[in-house]
Chains A and B, each alone.
Chain A
Amino acid sequence: DIQMTQSPSSLSASVGDRVTITCRASQSIYRYLNWYQQKPGKAPRLLIYAASSLQSGVPSRFSGSGSGTDFTLTISSLQSEDFATYHCQQSYSTPFTFGQGTKLEIK
């Protein structure tokens, strides 16, 4: 199975900050990497697919990069509605594993 490791596990930031979350795969997954946002009590929401493609309706302050084993999600200027948990996921091979999540909190 492909292991997905996110860092950090939690992060405190302020509105307007630039934030980067990292996801590392235990083997190459090419660009089969997706990012989701999840708020408490809600289903995950797709933000980025195929490492860097912005899902329709997602604000352009979200961006993704990387290939192979190392990937990043960047939020260019945090807004209040961005405080949530972020999950990476590989869709290269089954089982489609997720990272452990990164909780983004208000400083």
Chain B
Amino acid sequence: GQNIDQPTEMTATEGAIVQINCTYQTSGFNGLFWYQQHAGEAPTFLSYNVLDGLEEKGRFSSFLSRSKGYSYLLLKELQMKDSASYLCAVRDSNYQLIWGAGTKLIIKP
């Protein structure tokens, strides 16, 4: 079967750095996405990785290792508004998105 694993919940301090990990087992790979979802709202696109390495976009970076089936999302200079769920999703060989259940990130002052 296809599987995406992420920690259920993480806590971090305002101004700090946090890394959210995602491991996946899918039938084929055609890219990995990270989405942010605030409580009661729709997911919004954060990043996309299809090749190994680090993609940086402002305070957010995303890393991919295809050989290890592993990605992480790195959030720097955390702000209270970053409190949200972060969903990892992998596009499989059929170009279907397989979603993780998300990691709820709690930011404390």
Question: Do these two chains interact?
Answer: no
Q: Chain A interface (Cβ within 8 Å of chain B)?
A: none
Q: Chain B interface (Cβ within 8 Å of chain A)?
A: none
